Structure 1
Amino acid sequence: MNPAIGFASMIAALSAVILGAFLTWALMPLLRRYALARPNARSSHKVPTPQGAGIAVIGATLVVATCALGPTAPALQALLPLFAATIVIGIVGAVDDIRPIPVLPRFALQALCVGAVVLTLPSDQQIIPALPLWLERAALLIGGLWFVNLVNFMDGLDWMTVAETLPVTLALVVFGLIGALSESPALLAAALGGAMLGFAPFNRPGAAKVFLGDVGSLPIGLLLGWCLLQLALQGHSAAALLLPLYYLADSTLTLLRRMLRRERFWMAHRSHFYQRATDNGFPVREVVGQVCLLNLALAALAGASIALRSTVVDILLLGIGSVLVAVVLRRFARPRI
């Protein structure tokens, strides 16, 4: 156990809750004026609602993480490429929220941000040492770009990103406390989880006053992806897969299904399993509640993987996690009884 990380994480999380809530509240008038999301055929909301609270969430996360690590600390200096990429990808999302950017330029800018993070990883850090470094880095670039976008795709219901982010960041903090994750990603996860908790009261299902917007979901995907990558680089690849398994499954299966149907898969839609659940009669609170409970179960499996450290056990735990995810997806895809 590392009580120093535990105390610092607690202070970071509490500070981010307060700062995230304050910034969200302070930005509301500006967002109502310039960033109003109007309902359309693909929307889950029924009335015009401001979007862009991701500015508050990401701002609080970066400020608190910087203070927690220390402005002159070597650990913070190593995170500067990540923070710079987070800000740039957030700007891309903010512009897209107000005036949509064409697919290819948007994708290229996202790839630039993810690539900057991947290319600045230390050359002696690899998940699979047997692979050539260039091949693993290329795979990380593709995987990171997909992860950033899938977090954006899955941000389609009130509290959905909250239901994903809070269990994952809580697990990452616990892993830091027991020494399975280094200090920097643990504190960053604490700050991000706290900021999301501060945003949550403004995004309650049925009474949402504001949405994250792409300015929030894209950088959240980048920060979460980096934290999960650090977990994998420290030898816990199975845990790093288990934590976001629901998001990975819902988004990837939906993409493959749309591609097989020869749909324009790059266009906005509402055919994700969680969206189909609301069309099938599930209340939004029930959907996000089930996702949150599933993520807590996946976090417990990830913890078991770290504690037991066995390849055979990892395969078993990934199988159990896949079954749990499949049960929820199957339920979402059918009419509510």
Structure 2
Amino acid sequence: MPFAPLVAVPLAACLTAILIVLLKPILQRYALARPNARSSHSVPTPQGAGIAIVLAILATCGLAAALAKPMPNAMEALVLAHGTLLLAVIGAVDDIRPLPASLRLGLQTLVVAGLVMSVEGRLFPAIPLPAERAFAVLAGVWFVNLTNFMDGLDWMTVSALVPVTAALMLLGFIGDLSPLPTLVSASLLGALIGFAPFNRPVARLFLGDVGSLPIGLLVAWLLYRLALQGGLAAAILLPLYYLADATLTLLRRAMKGEKVWQAHRSHYYQRATTNGRSVMEVVACVFLLNIALAALAGTTLLWPSWLVTVAALAAGTCLVAFMLRRFSTMRGETIR
């Protein structure tokens, strides 16, 4: 599929935009997101654009698969497609009538476990295979949920994941990612671009759990595949801001004895708006940060030495730490 990713980007973008236009009247009527403790909006806004994104990705990848002879990693692709659909259904139900946290987490774990079992390869051959897969499932479930947690601001998912998916697609072109992940990353990139005009601040439409959960699964799988192909450092650097913001926020809330599964507005990007920064300023900072992290990830693959890898990880950590510190500081206050 040498040219499929190049076609997948505009195709997925167009399909997403068309489906959103067709679905928006229905979402406006039946899927309004009303402001709650987590919300950054003050008026009811339709959610559920994730339906269009998931359908566009599956249609784009399905068309490419139909044209490819033979289709690479066919069984893995089928498991990924079914897992994506299942998480979309779970998210859609949760958007309309919230599910118990235990049920939601259990279903997510089953989906991620099935996908991990379908992927061949080892990350850490020195440890037992069951232990490695258990770690992969845990990491996958966390990434699915943190993607949902981080979708709490207009354009946040777009600004964070467009650089990540674009970087993954480019890595596929230079041979650091196999054809199937390259195609999926290109389709997801196109779908996010198609969604972007509708979610631009002030958003007219939200992603919803129907979108954030399957998107989290797809990105987690893409990063796992990159790590399995020798790009572990790159797979850490690409989502490093997402990982740091969500994980540190969870730990901080747990240490305070708060109920971590309840809605809140204490993520660093949310605190940034509370501290006087505009939504556009916050998402622009996240976008530029993720471009920098993508460049650092690329250096670890172009120059695969331990010195470059350590330097890139250190630089990425410093950039993320600076951004988190900036977001948690009142506008106009000196950062120390």
TM class, shorter-length: over 0.9
How far is 1:74 from its partner?
4.0
How far is 1:255 from its partner?
0.4
2:173 to 166, 170, 177: 177
The answer on whether the counterparts of 2:37 and 2:263 sit within 8 Å (CA) in structure 1 is no
The answer on whether the counterparts of 1:70 and 1:76 sit within 8 Å (CA) in structure 2 is no
How far is 1:283 from its partner?
0.4
In the TM superposition, what whole-angstrom CA distance separates every residue of 1:243-299 from its partner, at most 9, and x where no partner exists?
Answer: 000000000000010011111111111100000001001100000000000000000
In the TM superposition, what whole-angstrom CA distance separates every residue of 1:25-67 from its partner, at most 9, and x where no partner exists?
Answer: 1110110111100112321001110000000011101110121
**Alignment-derived partner of residue 121 in structure 1:** 119
How far is 1:22 from its partner?
0.5
What is the identity, as a one-letter code, of the residue corresponding to 1:204?
A: R
Task: Give the aligned CA root-mean-square deviation in angstroms.
Answer: 1.1
**Alignment-derived partner of residue 293 in structure 1:** 288
Matches within 5 A, 1:164-313: 164-206=160-202, 208-313=203-308
In 2: Cα distance, 1:166 partner to 1:10 partner: 15
The answer on whether the counterparts of 1:52 and 1:212 sit within 8 Å (CA) in structure 2 is yes
What is the identity, as a one-letter code, of the residue corresponding to 1:285?
A: M
**Alignment-derived partner of residue 315 in structure 1:** 310
The answer on whether the counterparts of 2:38 and 2:152 sit within 8 Å (CA) in structure 1 is no
In 2: Cα distance, 1:73 partner to 1:308 partner: 31
The 4+ residue runs of structure 1 with deviation greater than 6 A are none
How far is 1:193 from its partner?
0.5
In the alignment of these two chains, the number of paired residues is 330
What is the identity, as a one-letter code, of the residue corresponding to 1:95?
A: V
In 2: Cα distance, 1:112 partner to 1:132 partner: 21
**Alignment-derived partner of residue 84 in structure 2:** 86
In the TM superposition, what whole-angstrom CA distance separates every residue of 1:139-179 from its partner, at most 9, and x where no partner exists?
Answer: 00000000000000000001000011110010001100100
In structure 2, relative to structure 1, the CA distance for the partners of 1:185 and 1:109 (3 Å cut) is same
In 2: Cα distance, 1:164 partner to 1:65 partner: 22
SS at match of 2:73: helix
In 1: Cα distance, 2:75 partner to 2:113 partner: 18
**Alignment-derived partner of residue 20 in structure 1:** 16
The answer on whether the counterparts of 2:169 and 2:185 sit within 8 Å (CA) in structure 1 is yes
What is the identity, as a one-letter code, of the residue corresponding to 2:252?
A: R
How far is 1:311 from its partner?
2.0
In 2: Cα distance, 1:171 partner to 1:74 partner: 21
The alignment status of 1:330 with 2:325, answered yes or no, reads yes
**Alignment-derived partner of residue 136 in structure 1:** 132
What is the identity, as a one-letter code, of the residue corresponding to 1:254?
A: T
Flag structure 1 segments of 5+ consecutive residues without an equivalent. Answer: none
How far is 1:183 from its partner?
0.6
What TM-score do the two structures reach when normalised by structure 2?
Answer: 0.96
The answer on whether the counterparts of 1:168 and 1:244 sit within 8 Å (CA) in structure 2 is yes
What is the identity, as a one-letter code, of the residue corresponding to 2:164?
A: V
The answer on whether the counterparts of 1:69 and 1:75 sit within 8 Å (CA) in structure 2 is no
**Alignment-derived partner of residue 63 in structure 1:** 59
2:155 to 155, 159, 176: 159
The answer on whether the counterparts of 1:276 and 1:333 sit within 8 Å (CA) in structure 2 is yes
How far is 1:77 from its partner?
3.8
What is the identity, as a one-letter code, of the residue corresponding to 1:8?
A: A
1:103 to 101, 115, 118: 101
In 2: Cα distance, 1:74 partner to 1:196 partner: 25
In the TM superposition, what whole-angstrom CA distance separates every residue of 1:223-247 from its partner, at most 9, and x where no partner exists?
Answer: 0110111100001100000000000
